[in-house]
Amino acid sequence: MHEISLDKAVQISSDIGRAVLEMHAHELVHRDIKVSNILLDGENQVFLADFGACQHGTENETIFLSRPYAPELVPKVTTSSDHQFSYEGSALDVFSIGVLMYTVAPKISYDLPNQITRAHIDALDQTLIPQTYRTLMLRCLDDVPKNRPNAKEVVEQLNTIADQVAISKPCLKCFENPRYARCLPCRHKTMCTACLNEMRQSDQRPKCILCRGIYTSIEEDTDSDTYKVATVSKK
């Protein structure tokens, strides 16, 4: 796990997302997506395994106890009630993709918490992991199943993130980390998030290292161009 880079983490998540998308297109839900059910061959190709919990149809009653639990499963897990209980299996699969994204994301400790919170995601290295990746995780892990994206949206977003990571250029200050954010208002993308924040903390009037203009905030985008001209709408 410690050898998985960000681009590999995105690829694993994207490959599993495409497998889930294909299943959902045929109204099949996996319901037990986790790292122990993901296989890599000798060429690091990704495979989703263990379809013993797979079921046809989106409404489900049987639950499989793999932590962290999706919020909609907690009432059933923590009580012995025999009342009728059901959940949307496709939303559960998307929640599991969010858990997978967190699990494979580069970090210091790979111990999986009982519940992944915003604090866990915010603690991920913002220098290496773009905001787009963290935002998609939060959406997949939303407490309300209907608020989560569907598998098609997840795959589309992961494809965009894969392009963003692949075309990112090295920081012009530290020459190591990728640059994901632009200085505003000049819109030059020159430094990594760590260097941008370090400069803002050490100087009340931080300057873009390219144009030497003062920047007041930073904004992430998926465009690799160093220069970005703001578009003006025509009336």
Q: What is the pLDDT of residues 69-91, one digit of tens each?
A: 788 776 555 555 544 455 678 89
Q: What's the CATH number where 226 sits?
A: 3.30.40.10
Do 70 and 26 share a structural domain? yes
Is residue 61 a contact partner of residue 75, using CB atoms and an 8 Å limit?
A: no
User: Token digits for 54?
Assistant: 């797979």
Does 135 or 58 have the greater pLDDT score? 135
Q: Please tell me whether the peptide bond between 68 and the residue prior to it is cis, using omega within 30 degrees of 0.
A: yes
Residue 231 has pLDDT above 80, yes or no: no
Mean pLDDT of the chain: 86
Neighbours of 213 (CB within 10 A): 11
**Which pairs with CB-CB distance under 8 Å and at least 24 residues apart come from 110-115?**
110/1, 110/2, 112/67, 112/68, 113/68, 114/67, 114/68, 115/68, 115/69
How many structural domains does the chain have? 2
pLDDT at position 68: 81
Residue 232 has pLDDT above 50, yes or no: no
Query: For 202-230, what is each residue's pLDDT tens digit?
Result: 988 999 999 999 999 999 999 989 987 55
Domain boundary among 167, 188, 219: 167
Q: What's the CATH number where 71 sits?
A: 1.10.510.10
Do 231 and 149 share a structural domain? no
Do 159 and 205 share a structural domain? no
Do 135 and 100 share a structural domain? yes
Do 197 and 156 share a structural domain? no
Beta bridge partners, 88, equal 59
User: What number is the average pLDDT over the span 10-31?
Assistant: 93
195 part of a folded domain: yes
Domain boundary among 145, 167, 189: 167
1 part of a folded domain: no
Residue 120 has pLDDT above 50, yes or no: yes
Band of residue 4 on the pLDDT scale cut at 50, 70, 90: confident
81 part of a folded domain: yes
Do 156 and 72 share a structural domain? yes
Which domain, by its residues, includes 147?
6-167
Do 212 and 187 share a structural domain? yes
26 part of a folded domain: yes
Do 190 and 115 share a structural domain? no
User: Token digits for 173?
Assistant: 């200050």
pTM of this structure: 0.85
Alpha helices in the chain (DSSP H): 6-25, 74-78, 89-104, 118-122, 131-140, 151-167, 193-202
